[in-house]
Structure 1
């Protein structure tokens, strides 16, 4: 059996993870576009998925998303231009800036959360609620183990 055939029949964790991520992103961003957010792309999730409603520091967004601070800065610039976030002085540290969602950003965040909840509910219905809960628990444990092993950057 050729390697590509074997990987197709018995995908490893990397292939399963990437297939899941890319499929989830396609559906999420297509549905967001239908709901009034057509300008966003999956790369913007490195900011929007981790952004607190009251604002977050770019360094925190970089750490949470696993992206370099320069990448986050570029994404924030794009999101400012698109009207989803703004930079404000951090009241706790005048030298720092907070990335704060605008009304459009808050709408996106709420819609994104609702869409993802619907997607998860559909998966739970398809495989069974307990099986899906067990899957998420194990997947979280594998993810945490991978992150703590130092192999992830």
Structure 2
């Protein structure tokens, strides 16, 4: 059997990437709900995963997330109504707004970061630290070159 044949027998890269994304999202949002953040859904990750501690413009969030500005704007509106983010004037350009975490948003970010570290530790423990680091580096390389 050639290498190409074995590639066609396994789920393709898109299917595997989607399965991984959905499995991580399922665990992350279920655990966030247990910690009191039960009003969040995976679509909110479009914004929450990218906001820096100093805040970020919606256009930058859209660029980083690969989502349209309109989608990001809608999610920001939802998160603002839920009390996770606020819009503030950008000190570098008063016409622009920065999307910033509220206190609730910062608590959610800390909880989400801890959950993700736990998920990563679990996979690192199962695969071995070196194998997990190689997996992450290889996966990141595939993502970079797919986008490039």
TM-score bin (small chain): over 0.9
Per-residue CA deviations over 1:11-60 (Å, capped at 9, x if unaligned) read 11001000000000000000000001000000100100000111100000
- Does 1:131 pair with 2:135? no
Q: Distance in 1 between matches of 2:99 and 2:69?
A: 13
Per-residue CA deviations over 1:110-145 (Å, capped at 9, x if unaligned) read 111110000000001111111100000000000000
SS in 2 for 1:104: helix
Partner of 2:48: 48
Q: Distance in 2 between matches of 1:92 and 1:145?
A: 33
Partner of 2:16: 16
RMSD of aligned Cα (Å): 1.3
Partner of 2:117: 117
How do 1:58-69 residues align onto structure 2 when only pairs under 5 Å count?
A: 58-69=58-69
How do 1:96-111 residues align onto structure 2 when only pairs under 5 Å count?
A: 96-111=96-111
Q: Distance in 2 between matches of 1:29 and 1:107?
A: 14
Q: Distance in 2 between matches of 1:46 and 1:53?
A: 16
Q: Distance in 1 between matches of 2:20 and 2:83?
A: 29
The structural deviation recorded for 1:10 is: 1.2
Partner of 1:3: none
> Scaled by the length of structure 2, what TM-score is found?
0.93
SS in 2 for 1:96: strand
- Count of residue pairs the alignment pairs up: 142
Partner of 1:82: 82
Per-residue CA deviations over 1:49-77 (Å, capped at 9, x if unaligned) read 00011110000000000000000000000
Q: Which consecutive residues of structure 2, in runs of 5 or more, have no partner in the other structure?
A: 1-5
SS in 1 for 2:94: strand
